[in-house]
Amino acid sequence: MLRGKWGLNKNRNDHRHHAVDAAVIAATDRGLLQKVARAAARCEQEGAAHALRDMPVPWNGFRDEAQECFQRIVVSHKPDHNVLGRLHKDTAYGQELNSQGKLVAVHRVPLASIGKASDAKKIRDLHLREQILELFKDEPNSVTVKQRLEEFSGRTGVRRVRVEEVLTLILIHDSTGTVYKGLDGDSNAFVEIFRTPDGKWGQEVVSTFTANRPNPFDTDRQRKSLPLIMRIYKDDLLALGRKEERRIYRVAMFSQNQGVTLAAHNEGGNLKNRNKNKEDLFKYFSKGASALQKDGARKVSVDILCRVRDPGPRT
pLDDT at 48: 58
The CA distances from residue 134 to 45, 49, 147, in Å, are: 71, 65, 14
Cα(212)–Cα(83) distance, integer angstroms: 7
Q: What are phi and psi of 10, to 5 degrees?
A: -130, 150
Q: Which residues of the chain have pLDDT under 50?
A: none
Cα(132)–Cα(163) distance, integer angstroms: 12
Amino acid at 57: V
Question: With the CA atoms of 77, 249, 313 and 311 taken in that order, what torsion angle do they form, in degrees rounded to the nearest 10?
Answer: -10
pLDDT at 42: 74
pLDDT at 106: 79
Residues with Cβ within 8 Å of residue 222, at least 6 apart in sequence: none
pLDDT at 256: 84
Among 110, 117, 104, 113, residue whose Cα is nearest residue 161 = 110
pLDDT at 244: 87
228 SS3 class: strand
Question: With the CA atoms of 49, 34, 5 and 15 taken in that order, what torsion angle do they form, in degrees rounded to the nearest 10?
Answer: -130
Beta-carbon count within 10 A of 14 CB:
19
pLDDT at 312: 87
Q: Quick one: which H or E segment has residue 129?
A: helix 126-134
pLDDT at 210: 76
Q: Which residues pair with 162 in a beta bridge?
A: 108
CA 30 to chain centre: 44
